[in-house]
Amino acid sequence: MTGPLAGLHVVELATEISGPYAAKLFVDLGAEVTKIEAPDGDPLRRWGPFPGGVADPERGGLFHYLNAGKSGATLDLARPDDLASVRELIARAHVLVEDFAPETLDGWGLGRDELERLNPNLVALRISAFGRCGPWRQRLATPLTLQAASGWISARDPDRPPVQVGARIGEYVAGAYGALGALTALRLPPAGRVREVDVSQLEALLSTLPYPMLMAQRMKMLGLPPNLRSAPMLGVVRAADGWVGINCLTGQHWLDVCAMLGLPEYGEHQIAIMMGGPERDEFFGKAEPLLARQTVAELVELGQALRIPTAPVNDGATVLDCPQYAERGFFVQAGGPGWSFQRPGPPFRFSKTPVARPGPAPRLGMPPARWAADARSPGTTEGPRPFSGLKVLDLTTFWAGAYLTCYLGAFGADVVKVESIQRPDGHRYSGAFAYEGDDWYERSPIWQGTNLNKRDLTLDLTSERGLEIVRRLAADADVVVENFSPRVVEQFGLAYDALAALNPAVIAVRMPGYGLQGPWRDYVGWALNFEQTSGMSAVTGYPDGPPCNPQGPADPIVGVHAGVALLAALEHRRRTGEGQLIEIAQIEVAACVAAEPVIEYSMTGVVSPRRGNRRRGYLQGVYPTAEDGVWVALSLPDDGRLDHDAFDELVAGWTGTQTAAMVVKSLQEQGIPAEQVVTGERMYDGDLIGAQLDARGYYEEFVHPITGPHRYPGWPLRITAGPTGHHRSAPPTLGQHNDEVLRGLGLSADEIASLRAGRVIGERPLGA
């Protein structure tokens, strides 16, 4: 076996997507996974898609994607002999992955105490709807109601119900966090007890939003509506042959779009158009006919030539023809004798430890087999936290990279974040407004929420002195992380080869939007572009409406996958002393969690329509209540006896006469999963999800030097026999640690003063 995690043994007792996806990521890294199935098999075997649309549990495309390369064992835990086989596998494993409701395994004699008797060195990854503690631990849930409770269901049309994110994308998220948490726990020294990683699917979804609770608090403080949301401009618009996303991130982008369309007179009206009303209707009345005359490819090429974040809105068919995916060979052939399909490849690429393409998925009915490779126990940290002693140089901007380094700092790494007074991190301006005073750039709640646990250093990298200092930091770092477009760090001479010349053991994590190679390597983009390019947007929305953006979860999802890859590379370095380059192309991570549409098209030639709030196998939807603008989501199994349209009409007629609280209480008491659709200003609310989040300590309060105390969201996992708490320190101010970091490099007070006088370092942006 090859790969950075070769010799790691994983037992999977999980079904559907979340648990199997966590185990899939271990396979992608070279670990050996034994998947245990009940005699009737993982229900995902019956989901499809199937070749030619003909159901066959051995040819389900989504099952094969998630389970390729795993060994199989079909065992009935109710039979003593089979249970003994399961216990034997667990006794020899490093990791157990399970996604049953809390205490389910206890009923089979596999509770925590028994696991400790079997294998006290085990890491048990346990994924459940709300986590294994708190008042909601046994609460009923479905993927739709979890999206409702976490803020993933969003208003798209004022005349229609808010709508979920499609293609079961949310179900992958907890699995990715689970893999990250399990690899983190493996770094803790065994203490004679199971290290348990408790992942909440609710918190996993909540953690991928751009901190709506912090933004809502900030809007209240400024006297603005707390749930004010403006649509990105231009958003998803129709071209001559499909849909295209034009995603203005700055005022300059807006001016450039207006110039591109020949409508410069609207350049000064961006805010009014974003907020809706007659200005918006007038602008789009002129813009839409102009856009409809050009193809998607023409608009993407033109927009990118002007450095406007522009992307195709791909579906399961067009994503396969996307030039960037095609040239990079990202989608790979899979299947078996007489049938095949295309699926995403791994979400990460390693320069020194590539993993061979996994073999087929296990067949149902297989007996348990012995582990194929000798066990190789992973290394552990010598400090009190999983990343104690790890030195991280953070060259990131905005969210995806900063999310990863925030996590590393939370669990013990020394993270030095580099900005400059000439060009601070652009995320500082998200939700901050210049009229608030001289320190307005310190007030962004979104920047703060992603940059706890770090020391902040400003360096002008266009100066020789600044570059010399950052090279000294890189020479002493274990990890260097960046997520700019490829040419940025290359222009500064900080690409991997240059870093390795300074420090052969360094691990460089590069997180470009489109990848380091390919015809689109230098395209500009942010989360919405990657959601659109990968197919995430095409599966979200009403069946008769346009594609809709999932509202930005791609950034943290990318950061989590980068963390999984980094921890594997650290294990390889421990064994060999070798550093390496890790490439995380953000469009590839997004495609990995939006896999089903491309699998379906390659198997059947069909691009399924958007499903709104429906899902096969359920009668479900989002329905109005007697409260203005308040909605509820509910789900129950579909036994085929009711027409869904008639069901919707019946349910909406009832919910429209009730408060949301009454609907949820009544249905939950009857065993029907239901939740209120939560918005940002209600995410601290004890009457809704707040009590559950508080019981699990999801929010932690820190005092920011400028904006004072805030409750910041943590991570959607708890490691028992691990660190308590989510964060270690408040987010820093610009250049807050200049003197501290530079003194640590041996610079004298006079040298530091000279750097400050020359504006190589500083504590305020130039011009502020």
Contacts of 628 (CB under 8 A, 6+ apart): none
Which residues are paired to 154 by β-bridges?
Answer: 163
DSSP notation for 573-596: HHHH---EEEE--HHHHHHHTT-H
Q: What's the rounded mean pLDDT across residues 137-155?
A: 96
664: three-class secondary structure by DSSP:
helix
Q: What is the C-alpha to C-alpha distance for residues 281 and 275, in angstroms, rounded to an integer?
A: 11
Q: pLDDT band for 229, please (50, 70, 90 cuts).
A: low
Q: What is the C-alpha to C-alpha distance for residues 418 and 494, in angstroms, rounded to an integer?
A: 13
DSSP state of 154: B
Radius of gyration for the alpha carbons in the chain, expressed in angstroms and rounded: 25
pLDDT over threshold 70, residue 341:
yes
Instruction: Give CA separation, 280 vs 8, 154, 181, 492, in Å.
Output: 56, 20, 45, 41
Which residues are paired to 11 by β-bridges?
Answer: 34, 96
Contacts of 694 (CB under 8 A, 6+ apart): 686
Do residues 205 and 223 make contact, with C-beta atoms less than 8 angstroms apart?
no
Task: Kindly state the tokens that stand for 445.
Answer: 């709640």
Q: What's the rounded mean pLDDT across residues 301-322?
A: 97
Taking the CA atoms of 447, 452, 455 and 461 in sequence, report the sign of the dihedral they define: negative
Q: pLDDT band for 555, please (50, 70, 90 cuts).
A: very high
Q: What is the C-alpha to C-alpha distance for residues 235 and 552, in angstroms, rounded to an integer?
A: 13
pLDDT over threshold 60, residue 649:
yes
Phi-psi region of 380 (alpha: psi -120 to 50; beta: other; left: phi over 0): beta
CB atoms within 10 A of CB 1: 15
Task: Kindly state the tokens that stand for 691.
Answer: 């009590």
Q: What's the rounded mean pLDDT across residues 124-148?
A: 97
Least confident of 68-82, 441-455, 588-602, 672-686: 672-686
φ, ψ (nearest 5 deg) of residue 20: -60, -30
Amino acid at site 342: Q
Cis bond before residue 232 (omega within 30° of 0): no
- pLDDT for 79: 96
323: three-class secondary structure by DSSP:
helix
Task: Kindly state the tokens that stand for 219.
Answer: 């809007």
Q: What's the rounded mean pLDDT across residues 30-52?
A: 97
Which one has a higher pLDDT value, 275 or 186? 186
- Helices 527-534 and 554-576, interaxial angle, to 10°? 90
Task: Kindly state the tokens that stand for 197.
Answer: 């990683």
pLDDT over threshold 60, residue 533:
yes
- pLDDT for 102: 95
Per DSSP bridges, beta strands 391-394 and 349-350 are unpaired
Q: What's the rounded mean pLDDT across residues 537-549?
A: 96
φ, ψ (nearest 5 deg) of residue 473: -65, -40
Task: Kindly state the tokens that stand for 669.
Answer: 């008491």
Which one has a higher pLDDT value, 10 or 231? 10
Q: What is the C-alpha to C-alpha distance for residues 399 and 405, in angstroms, rounded to an integer?
A: 10
Phi-psi region of 649 (alpha: psi -120 to 50; beta: other; left: phi over 0): alpha
The residues carrying an active-site annotation are 555
Domains of the chain and CATH, by start: 9-209+354-377 (3.40.50.10540), 234-320 (3.30.1540.10), 391-592+723-758 (3.40.50.10540), 611-682 (no CATH)
E strands, 412-499, in order? 414-419, 455-458, 479-482
Phi-psi region of 75 (alpha: psi -120 to 50; beta: other; left: phi over 0): beta
Q: What's the rounded mean pLDDT across residues 170-192?
A: 96
- The most distant pair of C-alpha atoms in the chain lies apart, rounded to whole Å, by 81
- pLDDT for 228: 58
Q: Which residue has the tokens 């601290």?
A: 684
Residue 311: which H helix or E strand, with range?
strand 310-312
Q: What does the pLDDT look like over 280-300, one tens digit per residue?
A: 999 999 999 999 999 999 999
H helices present in 77-211, as ranges: 80-91, 112-118, 143-150, 170-186, 201-207
* CA-based nearest residue to 531, from 559, 562, 554: 554
Q: What is the C-alpha to C-alpha distance for residues 141 and 176, in angstroms, rounded to an integer?
A: 20
Per DSSP bridges, beta strands 349-350 and 580-583 are antiparallel
**How remote is the C-alpha of 620 from its chain's centroid?**
25
CB atoms within 10 A of CB 109: 13
- pLDDT for 231: 65
703: three-class secondary structure by DSSP:
strand
Q: How many CA within 13 A on the CB side of residue 374?
A: 1
Q: What's the rounded mean pLDDT across residues 557-569?
A: 98
- pLDDT for 230: 59
Do residues 707 and 699 make contact, with C-beta atoms less than 8 angstroms apart?
no
pLDDT over threshold 60, residue 1:
no
Do residues 708 and 431 make contact, with C-beta atoms less than 8 angstroms apart?
no
Q: What's the rounded mean pLDDT across residues 512-527?
A: 96
* CA-based nearest residue to 390, from 372, 415, 365: 415
- pLDDT for 664: 98
* CA-based nearest residue to 261, from 525, 536, 273: 273
Mean pLDDT score across all residues of the chain = 95
Its pTM surpasses 0.85: yes
Q: What is the C-alpha to C-alpha distance for residues 114 and 486, in angstroms, rounded to an integer?
A: 50
